[in-house]
Chains A and B, each alone.
Chain A
Amino acid sequence: MERYYQPEIECASREEIRTIQEERLKAQVRHVWENVPYYRRKMEEKGVTPDDIQTLEDLSKLPFLSKSDLRDAYPYGLLGVPLKDCVRIQSTSGTTGKRVVAFYTPHDIDLWEDCCARAIVAAGGTDEDVCQVSYGYGLFTGGPGLNGGSHKVGCLTVPTSSGNTDRQIMFIMDLSTTILCCTPSYAAYLGERMKEMGYGPDDIPLKAGIFGAEAWSEEMRQDIQRTLGIKAYDIYGLTELSGPGVSFECSAQAGMHINEDHFIAEIIDPDTCEVLPEGAQGELVFTAIDKEAFPMIRYRTRDICSLTREKCSCGRTHVRMTKPKGRSDDMLIIRGVNVFPSQIETVLLNHGYAANYQIIVDRVNNTDTLDVQVEMTPEMFTDNIGEVEERQRQLVDGLKSMLGIKAKVSLVAPKSITRSEGKAVRIIDKRKI
């Protein structure tokens, strides 16, 4: 039977959700107008005042915020409350430019942890569970977010943080951990390591995993589920909005429910910024409607996905988003074609290779080159060189038909690609553009 952390909100009728959203949106726009001069200026430039925002349809009148605004306003320019009311910051890794520093009041942390608690309960978590949080703790939101959610659910929380794989496995086996929270690439690595140590899916006490913070494919999910003998749930979030838990998967594993009492989602055309109808694929834009310290109105996530309000078998009524094809930060433009690492991953797994790979992009004689380095696996190896080459060729063909451009495949020694303990480094772009 499906369980909910806050059923009255998670299963509210669409009308109730709309009422909550409109009420909170109006208040939030006024809060920002009065307290965030940076955004007020943007509104004034567009000729919009809080009085113009009465219904959800009015949302499109408001200006967007993007990562460059966060950079310009760094560090305090988007703060919505006096610093004395803030109790915490979290920050991004800054791999794609300047770090984002987000601020939290106690209320902001509370709603964030509620969102994470909903995700844990949706993954089957109860106060009987042992929940191991192997996301990094510290500035990264992964560890603190799931830690807070796990407390709220009443799980026994094991704050291992990331890294030290053998110790992670020791805790899983010794404490009979039932829920694992980490990045999908680390889950895959833990699975690989446990398999080597002789633990089969039936020996591993885990029953569920909550994996997020990076793009991963359906094939990778199947792989992790098989190796660890668990059900693997996706979780999504951004530091700008709070952290993990902005949306999460339920037992249906068919898209992630967005916590609509806290976040309004829109899909826009990333080029024209026009709002697209339900079901269309485009850039995900969020408006946080219940945050005090670091309000975000129409924040462009650069994630490409689509939304659906179709009824979900789990009983939740909140809109679902598809797994983002990849953050546009991860998207590579190679010879003018958009390439997402997740597409490459799908092809690799379909052809029997491991999900551990590296993509090297370079520019030779003004032409982009794409080299996919794949680790050789026992399943793909034979003593016959022609056969290995044939399999390599099939992989090249598979990549060509998925991506539309030709990629070189290099077979490399097992374990030669560095395993990550946090977000995997998949792309090495050597182009100097």
Chain B
Amino acid sequence: MSIKQISVFLENRPGMLKEMTSVLAAHKIDMRALSIAETKDFGIARLVVDDAYQAINILKESSFVANLTPVLAVAVPDEPGGLDNLLGIFSDAQVNIEYMYAFIGGKEAKHAYLIFRVADTKAAEARLASKGLRLMTQEDIANI
């Protein structure tokens, strides 16, 4: 089960990221995770929010170029070796990771959450499931 990440194009100039967060704040969008990839010319903000569809609509209305990207989200115990164990499953399942980012916290203590972008989301889901891994749903994310 994949979840929706919002990817947003950000021109490289002061205040650009703030413009995006102001739009989200004005519409009470609650962010779960945020990561920014950058080159020297531009950046791409990747975010996971409580309501992905509402967020993408308001970003587009505010003239941002943004799209929804399927990503895999996994919760692991927040303890040494947690990520290592998880990546062992990815490795066994032969799933190649394009990029990933992590966040800790939420209502349920002692958990870390990991977001993965993989090339073939559907195939990766099936292979990871066969290794007994539980992927988070959009609902799980909203409830964190």
Contacts and interface: CB of A to CB of B under 8 A. Distances in A.
Interface of A: 376-378, 381-385, 388-389, 392, 410-416
Nearest to B61: A196
Given A376-B9, A383-B5, A411-B9, A388 B65 contact: no
Nearest to B71: A383
Interface in B46-94: 46, 63-67, 69
A419 to B, nearest CB: 12
A378 B41 contact: no
Interface of B: 5, 7, 9-11, 16, 37-39, 41-42, 44, 46, 63-67, 69, 98, 117
Which of A377, A388, A410, A413 gathers the greatest number of chain B CB atoms within 10 Å? A413
A377 B64 CA distance: 9
A307 B46 CA distance: 54
A382 B9 CA distance: 9
Interface SS of chain A = loop
A162 B39 CA distance: 39
Contact of A412 (B11, B69, B98): B11
A411 B43 CA distance: 10
A414 B11 CA distance: 9
Contacts of B46: 383
Contacts of A376: 9, 11, 42, 65
A388 B63 CA distance: 19
A321 B16 CA distance: 46
Contacts of B42: 376, 388, 411
B39 to A, nearest CB: 6
Nearest to A385: B37
Contacts of A415: 63
B67 A378 contact: yes
10 contacts: A382-B69, A383-B44, A383-B117, A385-B37, A385-B44, A388-B9, A388-B44, A392-B41, A411-B41, A415-B63
B53 to A, nearest CB: 16
Nearest to A383: B7
Contacts of B63: 413-415
Shortest beta-carbon contacts, A-B, top 6? A383-B7, A413-B11, A383-B69, A376-B65, A415-B63, A376-B9
Contacts of A412: 11
Contacts of B117: 383
B65 A377 contact: yes
Given A383-B69, A411-B41, A416 B11 contact: yes
Contact of A381 (B38, B39, B65, B98): B65
A378 B69 contact: no
A378 B37 contact: no
Nearest to A389: B39
Contacts of A378: 65, 67
